[in-house]
């Protein structure tokens, strides 16, 4: 009985450590995307202010971390449903990103097409990182059953 409890405790520690490592990967990639946006795009193309850029990247980073965290939690509770939760949360993420763009007033202004395009590129980059990190969780579904 004690050994079983100790093994579960060790597995939980290992899972939390792995989750934190993947979240650090997501944060590092977010900081890299932000640095690319600030230093390359604004320096050479003059696309947006620093506060607007920071707001975009914080929004996208928090969405990715939330979705990844929820998929990891669902995987621990019910591994078979993790992929469904990922797909549903990706849809919710897409809707929230559309609402974010609408809130900025970019849909009504024809002069902000370049800003929308840059936001879309970074949205897709963040989504790629999210799917890459989540696929590491989901590929283990077959081995857990």
Tokens matching residue 137: 């969780």
Q: Is 145 helix (H, G, I), strand (E, B) or coil?
A: coil
pLDDT tens figures, 96-107: 998 888 887 777
The 3-class secondary structure across 84-141, one letter per residue, is HHHHHHHHHHHHHHHHHHHHCCCCCCHHHHHHHHHHHHHHHHHHHHHHHHHHHHHCCH
pLDDT tens figures, 110-145: 776 777 788 888 899 999 999 988 888 777 654 554
Task: Return the pLDDT at 5.
Answer: 46
pTM of the model: 0.78
Q: Confidence band (pLDDT; 50, 70, 90) for 45?
A: low
Q: Is 1 helix (H, G, I), strand (E, B) or coil?
A: coil
Task: Return the pLDDT at 120.
Answer: 87
CB 85 within 8 A of CB 76: no
CB 114 within 8 A of CB 46: no
Query: In the chain, what percentage of residues exceed pLDDT 90?
Result: 21
């Amino acid at each position: 009985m004690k050994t079983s409890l100790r093994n579960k405790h060790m597995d939980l520690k290992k899972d939390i450590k792995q989750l934190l490592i993947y979240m650090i990967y997501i944060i590092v990639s977010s900081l890299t995307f932000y640095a690319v946006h600030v230093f390359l795009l604004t320096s050479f193309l003059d696309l947006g202010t620093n506060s607007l850029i920071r707001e975009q990247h914080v929004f996208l980073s928090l969405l990715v971390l939330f979705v990844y965290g929820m998929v990891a939690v669902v995987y621990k509770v019910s591994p078979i449903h993790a992929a469904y939760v990922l797909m549903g949360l990706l849809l919710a993420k897409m809707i929230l990103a559309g609402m974010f763009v609408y809130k900025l007033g970019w849909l009504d202004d024809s002069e902000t097409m370049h800003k929308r395009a840059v936001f879309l590129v970074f949205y897709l980059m963040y989504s790629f990182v999210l799917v890459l990190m989540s696929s590491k969780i989901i590929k283990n579904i077959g081995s857990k059953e």
